[in-house]
């Protein structure tokens, strides 16, 4: 058996497809690896990731709706703007464009998230194939997929996740511009760098790393004496100009939000945050690095030769990667800002490419097959075993964001509204997550309004501005939200306050319960009906929840 396997591996090293009785599964993987240079191996891997992830999400989150960040992204994209109070506009634009084709459902936004992830992996491969072929191209992506970045982190399509695609795209265009000096690539480099900035301002660390890496490169004189960097800079500025104008005319709201929520740390705490960021990023990078070393098993002298003899293009890439870790850490330490490692996950691909592509030694194909089989087995195990267990667990122990109850709570709020008015629910407030959920899941798609009993602000809405009526929804244990709701109810004519509770149910198995407080303010021209008894609402919803799973 061992002799036969060795023969298979040897033949495969020279590009022959191997099939042998007793090793069919290895033969299938060898065929797949051969398909990398034939053009179908990488697309198959990426398509398989999307398919397995979609299956995992469908099962694991049968008891949970979309994360608040995702439905907030959709809400921001309902109107075309050059920014929002928290973030630049790219994620909202992507959600808006997506929903011109796909419906407002959980699966469609999961597909959007995985499509974004797939684009990132595709351009990562485009970078890797400038340096290596075949097995190593596949290995780069497989090592990235060992980490949950392109699956679980990618699922929350928000300002962080959108960088999974924009960073590899911008890096690919920058490398091509640096290497060729062509005007077309310079324009592409500037435009894609600006696109990354429109995804999240954190991308300034990537762009700064481009500049520093180019300055440290041996060909810096040739590059900076050409038109390429200046065309790229002018193009990027041109693309960003509308957003810069928006910032200037709206009070730079995202910067105000960032300063309020992510700054002000004491010097010692900021230093600890910076060190923690570097250590966490180093630890994450070490995982694929150690797996690669266990596959390659190079002699120490050979490893050192590769490190000090790194190709000039890979040194450029390594410099960019180091910058994306060093600059955020320095910013945190100097300015006292938050810097969670979650914000830097999209930059790990830079190091993995250098680790694999910088090696001059050949890794036995058998070990590449083993890595591929391991990644596929992890995906299959997660989908077939972990996902069902997660669904069962969350039936009794809901997700802490409360999204196990989003759809049924929104359905009840919508029902209460239509019991008081014949018009569509125009605006919604209360708990931020529940309000975003109402905007997304209610068939009326009301507009989320921060002013409407927003938790921690307790602002009374301007009656003249909401003459068409509005509604708010809070969890029954959220004191801040309920206090604001009660204050608004006391000052608003015809306000109807009610309570209800919901119980999760998975194929007839009852799980956790959660109470809610709702406030309905009918249109000013409508006569206020008598509020329904709160226990009746709870009973109605409980019976509905027992008869079906929470999500269809």
99: its two tokens: 């929903």
Least confident of 56-60, 220-224, 347-351, 457-461: 457-461
Q: Beta strands 470-475 and 509-521: pairing type?
A: antiparallel
Is 346 in contact with 325 (CB distance < 8 Å)? no
**Closest Cα partner for 518 from 443, 422, 419, 382?**
419
Phi, psi of 475, rounded to the nearest 5 degrees:
-75, 145
DSSP 3-state assignment of 496?
Answer: strand
Residue 436 banded pLDDT, cuts 50, 70, 90: very high
Q: How far apart are the first and last CA of the chain?
A: 49
**Closest Cα partner for 117 from 161, 71, 169, 171?**
161
Helix (H) or strand (E) holding 8: helix 2-13
Is 99 in contact with 115 (CB distance < 8 Å)? no
Handedness of CA 345, 346, 347, 353 (dihedral sign): positive
pLDDT at 485: 86
Helix (H) or strand (E) holding 510: strand 509-521
User: Is the per-residue pLDDT at 444 higher than 70?
Assistant: yes
Higher pLDDT, 436 or 449: 436
Locus of tokens 């000096």: 181
Higher pLDDT, 249 or 533: 249
User: Is the per-residue pLDDT at 375 higher than 80?
Assistant: yes
pLDDT at 534: 38
Distances (CA, A) of 225 to 25, 148, 181, 188, 511: 54, 42, 10, 19, 67
Residues 528-543 have a mean pLDDT of 38
* Helix spans in 427-533 (H): 432-441, 479-491
A 10 A CB-CB count for 225 gives 10
Locus of tokens 């890439």: 317
pTM of the model: 0.89
Average pLDDT, the chain: 88
232: its two tokens: 């790229």
Locus of tokens 């569509």: 424
């Amino acid at each position: 058996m061992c002799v036969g396997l060795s023969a298979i591996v040897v033949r495969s090293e020279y590009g022959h497809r191997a099939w042998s009785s007793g090793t069919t599964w290895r033969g299938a993987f060898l065929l797949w690896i051969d398909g990398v240079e034939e053009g179908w191996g990488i697309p198959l891997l990426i398509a398989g990731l999307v398919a397995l992830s979609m299956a995992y999400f469908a099962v694991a989150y049968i008891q949970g709706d979309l994360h608040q960040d995702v439905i907030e992204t959709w809400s921001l994209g309902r109107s075309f703007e050059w920014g929002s109070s928290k973030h630049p506009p790219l994620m909202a634009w992507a959600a808006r464009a997506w929903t011109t084709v796909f419906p407002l459902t959980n699966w469609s936004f999961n597909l959007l998230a995985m499509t974004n992830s797939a684009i990132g992996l595709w351009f990562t491969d485009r970078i890797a194939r400038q340096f290596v072929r075949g097995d190593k191209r596949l290995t780069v992506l497989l090592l990235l997929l060992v980490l949950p970045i392109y699956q679980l982190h990618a699922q929350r399509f928000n300002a962080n996740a959108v960088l999974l695609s924009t960073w590899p795209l911008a890096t690919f265009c920058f490398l091509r511009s640096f290497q060729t000096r062509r005007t077309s690539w310079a324009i592409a480099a500037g435009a894609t760098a600006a696109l990354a900035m429109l995804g999240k301002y954190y991308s300034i660390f990537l762009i700064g790393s481009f500049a520093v890496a180019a300055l440290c490169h041996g060909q810096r004189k040739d590059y900076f004496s050409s038109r390429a960097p200046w065309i790229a800079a002018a193009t990027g500025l041109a693309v960003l100009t509308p957003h810069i104008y928006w910032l200037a005319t709206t009070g730079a709201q995202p910067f105000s939000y960032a300063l309020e929520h992510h700054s002000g740390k004491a010097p010692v705490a900021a230093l600890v945050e910076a060190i923690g960021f570097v250590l966490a990023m180093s630890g994450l990078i070490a995982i694929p690095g150690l797996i690669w070393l266990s596959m390659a098993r190079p002699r120490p002298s050979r490893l050192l030769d590769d490190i000090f003899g790194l190709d000039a293009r890979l040194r450029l890439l390594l410099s960019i990667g180091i910058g994306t870790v060093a600059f955020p850490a320095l910013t945190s330490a100097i300015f006292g800002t938050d810097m969670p490692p979650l914000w830097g996950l999209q930059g790990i691909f830079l190091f993995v490419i250098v680790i694999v592509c910088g090696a001059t030694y050949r890794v036995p194909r058998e070990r590449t097959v083993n890595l591929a089989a391991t990644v596929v087995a992890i995906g299959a195990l997660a989908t077939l075993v972990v996902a069902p267990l997660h669904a069962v667990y969350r039936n009794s122990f809901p997700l802490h964001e409360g999204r196990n109850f989003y759809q049924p709570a929104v359905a009840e709020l919508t029902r209460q509204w239509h019991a008081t008015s014949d018009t569509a629910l125009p605006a919604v407030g209360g708990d931020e997550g529940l309000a975003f959920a109402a905007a997304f899941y209610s068939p009326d798609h009301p507009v989320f309004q921060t002013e409407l009993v927003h938790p921690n602000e307790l602002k009374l809405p301007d009656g003249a501005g909401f003459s068409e009526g509005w509604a708010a929804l809070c969890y029954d244990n959220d004191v801040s939200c309920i206090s604001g709701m009660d204050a608004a109810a006391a000052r608003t004519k015809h306000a109807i306050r009610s309570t209800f509770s919901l119980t999760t149910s998975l194929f007839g198995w009852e799980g956790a319960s959660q109470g809610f407080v709702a406030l309905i303010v009918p249109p000013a021209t409508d006569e206020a009906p008598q509020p329904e008894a709160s226990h009746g609402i709870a009973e109605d919803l409980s019976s509905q929840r027992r008869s079906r799973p929470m999500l269809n």
